[in-house]
Amino acid sequence: AGALAVQKKIDGLDLLDAVKRQGAALVDKLHERFGNHAHIGDIRGRGLFIGIELVKDRATKETFDPTHKLHARIKKHAFEGGLICYPGGGTADGARGDHILIAPPFIITDAQLDELVVKLAAAVETSLAEVSG
């Protein structure tokens, strides 16, 4: 009964269409902000579940030193800025590789998408500055 109620709510509010629309908008905004970033290897996902790969060298996909825990630094700074993201490490070979996942709610607005990208960019840049200098 609970699952059926959830499905009816999702259908009644056209949340799947919203997820498709806002997911495409989020990917576009992330590509606009990070598409040519020297340390972003890839941006990919489906709907509002988006992964962002962080690399030391974009051309070679060389990873950051795992002792830097770049993914955890980004999570920390994002959280301090009011954004929750999900960090992941060891994703290249079990030991090396950093990524973060973004999974905003189905009801996110256009303005909130913009806010998400601004907050994520600040967290990424602050974290990169820590491991670079």
In which band, very low, low, confident or very high, does the pLDDT at 9 lie, cut at 50, 70 and 90? confident
pTM: 0.91
- Mean pLDDT along residues 22-36: 97
Could you tell me if 82 and 119 are in contact, meaning their C-beta atoms sit under 8 angstroms apart?
Answer: yes
CA distances from 85 to 10, 51, 62, 98, 104 (A): 23, 10, 23, 13, 9
Q: Does pLDDT of 73 surpass 80?
A: yes
Crossing angle between the packed helical segments 15-34 and 110-132, to the nearest 10 degrees: 40
Q: How is residue 5 written in tokens?
A: 């109620």
Q: 101 by DSSP, 3-state: which? A: strand
